Amino acid sequence: MKEVADRLNAVADHLDEHAPAMDQRMVDMWSGEGITRHDPVTGPENAIAPPLHLTGKDDGSVEGEVALGLPYQGPPGHVHGGISALLLDHTLGVANHWAGQSGMTAELTLRYHRPTPLFEPLTVTGEQVAVDGRKIRTTGAITARGEVCVSAEGLFIAKHLPRPR
Ligand SMILES: CCCCC/C=C\C/C=C\C/C=C\C/C=C/CCCC(=O)SCCNC(=O)CCNC(=O)[C@H](O)C(C)(C)COP(=O)(O)OP(=O)(O)OC[C@H]1O[C@@H](n2cnc3c(N)ncnc32)[C@H](O)[C@@H]1OP(=O)(O)O
């Protein structure tokens, strides 16, 4: 294992030497292409992202399918509850973006109905349900085999931090 670790560390050092400076990398991550490349849920450049692929639907909601492996394990054979919260927080955020009014998460309420299985297709959904001034209410769920494992209700407040340029 030590030899393998040394080789991986050498690769990491090599990549570090050739990577752009951190502030430039931040700019690149936010440069567009219609997706965020860096986020820990859908980001293709983020090693901890499963990644979940979300699609916007004609009815205004978003949906994606993903199967999660061992790094996301909590209870034996099942998804860690914080990971489910991560997927839903982000999916509700993307649902807001898709609906045209987005904001920052102020409250996220989760109900864990049944354990969420690892290694099985999960459907993750989000839908904006109301906008009242700056307050945005959004719901979503993770389902497996047609049964709801986790449902979410979020309050988002319209506010946008400046993107790096
Ligand atoms: C499907 C294909 C789509 C393609 C997608 C393509 C591209 C994607 C592009 C972008 C990606 C899109 C989405 C990405 C998704 C991101 C998801 C992640 C979201 C997050 O992970 S984000 C980080 C976690 N989040 C925070 O880090 C927030 C920290 N926090 C604050 O920054 C402030 O706290 C803030 C801003 C929340 C409010 O602050 P503030 O000063 O602006 O507003 P203020 O306090 O005045 O509140 C105004 C009114 O909201 C009420 N209110 C406020 N907070 C409340 C609470 N908690 N509960 C109940 N009511 C609350 C007040 O009571 C008042 O109500 P009233 O007006 O009636 O008095």
Tokens of 56: 């916007």
Tokens of 64: 């994606």
Q: What is the pLDDT of residues 21-80, one digit of tens each?
A: 988 888 877 776 667 788 999 988 889 999 999 999 999 999 999 999 999 999 999 999
Domains along the chain? 2-157 (3.10.129.10)
Residues 6+ apart with CB under 8 A from 75: 115
Q: Does the structure show a pLDDT above 80 at 135?
A: yes
Q: How far apart are CA 73 and CA 8, in angstroms?
A: 24
Contact between residue 115 and residue 80 where contact means Cβ atoms under 8 Å apart = no
Backbone φ and ψ for 152, nearest 5 degrees, come out as -135, 145
pTM (predicted TM-score):
0.93
Give me the mean pLDDT over the 85-93 stretch: 98
Task: Specify the pLDDT at position 32.
Answer: 65
The answer, yes or no, to whether any atom of ligand 1 lies below 6 A from the CB of 134, is: yes
Task: Specify the pLDDT at position 34.
Answer: 65
Tokens of 109: 């309420």
Of 102, 104, 125, the one to substitute when testing ligand 1's pocket (max ligand atoms within 8 A of C-beta) is: 104
